[in-house]
Structure 1
Amino acid sequence: MTEPFLREERRGAVLMLTMNGPEDRNALSSARQCEEFVEACRRINADQGIRAVILTGRDPAFCSGGNVKHMRSLEGFMAGRVEEVAEGYRASLQQLALSLYEVQVPVIAAVNGPTFGAGLDIACMCDIRLASDRARFSETFVRLGLISGIGGAWFLPRVVGASRAAELSFTARVFNAAQALEYGLVSEILAADRLMSRALELAEEIAGHSGSALRFCKRLLRRSDGSDLRTSLDLTAALQAIAHQTPEHHAAVESFLAERERR
């Protein structure tokens, strides 16, 4: 039986996902890999016990993007007539993008090494990005005469801004972790041997809060890009009304007041 591309490890309320294809630097080369992402995201959304997710790659890379050998041989996502290739992207890589972006709990990308092409786009689908000092990044597509088929033109500007996204997309330049921090792509740089422990520390800090509040908060943050203020406030009112009725909210208020009285 073929080993899964996505390895899962549960740490309490935190789920760790590891892309497991080190022989080709965790490249995305099959519909099966995309299906594993879609299924994992579905399970996360259905499990109220999961409050945070960490996504990383098995060393030596986070994800090297598409399989260039398949591009040359016109197999995998590149196989078939023009309309078949287009539909293949819609049915596989783009389903991965939709599913990962729509995960209802916070997702931390622990970027442990090279993160190119679709790999960079996957990192941008996450909510928070931490980088190893060994990480390198590139939106490589134009170097290969391509564009991002997984949504990079939508994700990258939302993370680094329109001007920087255009620069990185048009040049396909490789940049390091320090530059990624300067661009706002990552929020922290760690020594390679500290990356996963820091990602877990951050995930556990997040997971210590109300599961429903985290899901509501992420939903509002995701909607803030595409809605006007009135629409956002209307959704906020509806979600806040629900939040006020949850046992987690009541318990958190009691804990807060008890702690204040002790002080």
Structure 2
Amino acid sequence: MTFIVPEVKDARLEVENRVATLTLDRHDVRNALTGTALTEAIVTTAEWVNQCEEVSVLVITGAGSAFSAGGNVKDMAERGGDFAGDVAEVAARYRRGIQRIPLALQEVEVPVIAAVNGPAIGAGFDLANMADIRIASEKAKFGETFLNLGIIPGDGGAWFLQRLIGYQRAFELTLSGRVIDAREAKDLGIVLDVTEHDELMPRVHELARHIAAQPPKATRLTKRLMKMGQRIELKDFLDLCACFQGLCHNEPEHLEAVNRMLERMNKSS
């Protein structure tokens, strides 16, 4: 290895075949994002993969039975931890804490895949929705359950969910607070695929390795284009595509990929 993998608390970060896998590892609290060091682990990992040219895909999953239970409900009941204090204190803690996750993941330059191994509830559901692709175990469940607790999606979940499945469906899930299973999540377009539980990580890593085998610089530029295509006009987008294409045509990886394609064509002819 020619690069250093950062140490993360309450999680495990491993790299193999250009795929970084971040495993949330606080099964004792169902991988809650508050009251743990998981926010810092996610942000640290997101910033690191942008700097590490040897990583082409980031996978996020959970250890134990849950992907993430979101906020720590016991802390909410006791008005402790991240939920202590007056209005200004709570707001500042959200900005300095859990809201760093969507900002960090939105800036990740490589494809992000959420391997949803179990319940993804509240902020845990929102965390999954911040990924580019979601693949779920048959044991996964999803719920935008904030309103059930008398609060709103304070981590930006309402922004991500409606962009994923449209306003009407996102509105119903958010206002009803109902929990859905993996099959309904697939029908709604929340997850790309549902697998048997034991097949989840092999399926995710198969996809991740396939993406990671693509030319790495062009992969990062393509993700950037996909993100920017959501918010800029077509003419400006095409101008950007022309500039990015100029970069790609002048990268050694482009010529290497073209030569590989020609070799395959010659062999098949």
TM-score scaled by length of structure 2: 0.94
The answer on 1:58 being equivalent to 2:63 is: yes
Q: Show the counterpart of 2:34.
A: 29
Q: Supply the AA of the counterpart residue of 1:34.
A: T
Letter in structure 2 aligned against 1:174: V
Q: Aligned partners of 1:231, 1:245: CA distance in 2, in Å?
A: 22
Structure 1 residue 154 corresponds to structure 2 residue 159: yes
Q: Secondary structure at the match of 1:148?
A: coil
TM-aligned CA deviation for residue 33 of structure 1: 2.5
CA distance in 2, matches of 1:20, 1:114: 14
Q: Which runs of 5+ in 2 are unaligned?
A: 1-7
Provide the secondary structure at the position in 1 that maps to 2:164.
Answer: helix
Shift of 1:122: 0.5
Choose from 180, 183, 186 the match for 1:178: 183
CA distance in 2, matches of 1:237, 1:77: 46
Q: Aligned-pair distance for 1:154?
A: 0.5
Residue deviations 1:3-46 (CA, integer Å, cap 9, x gap): 82221111120011100110111011237322221111111000
3-state SS, counterpart of residue 44 of structure 1: helix
Partner SS, residue 163 of structure 1? helix
Runs of at least 5 residues in structure 1 that lack an aligned partner in the other structure: none
Secondary structure, aligned partner of 1:49: coil
Deviation at 1:192, TM superposition (A): 0.3
Contact 1:13 / 1:50 at 8 angstroms: preserved in 2?
A: yes
May I ask how many residue pairs the two structures share in their alignment? 262
3-state SS of 1:7 partner: strand
- The answer for the alignment partner of 2:150 in structure 1 is 145
What SS does the corresponding residue of 1:93 show, helix, strand or coil? coil
Q: Distance in 1 between matches of 2:135 and 2:215?
A: 23
Name the CA distance, whole Å, in 1 between partners of 2:261 and 2:118: 41
Identity of aligned residues (%): 43
Report if aligned partners of 1:29, 1:66 keep a CA contact under 8 Å in 2: yes
Contact 2:10 2:36 in 1 (8 A): no
State how 1:13-162 maps to structure 2 within 5 Å: 13-30=18-35, 32-162=37-167
Q: Which amino acid aligns with 1:120?
A: F
Residue equivalent to 2:5: none
Distance 1:37 1:210 in 2: 25
Which residue number corresponds to residue 168 of structure 2?
A: 163
Report the counterpart of residue 213 of structure 1 in structure 2: 218
Question: How large is the Cα RMSD of the aligned pairs?
Answer: 1.3
Q: Using structure 1 for the length normalisation, give the TM-score.
A: 0.97
- Displacement after TM superposition at 1:74 (Å): 1.4
Q: Which amino acid aligns with 2:51?
A: A
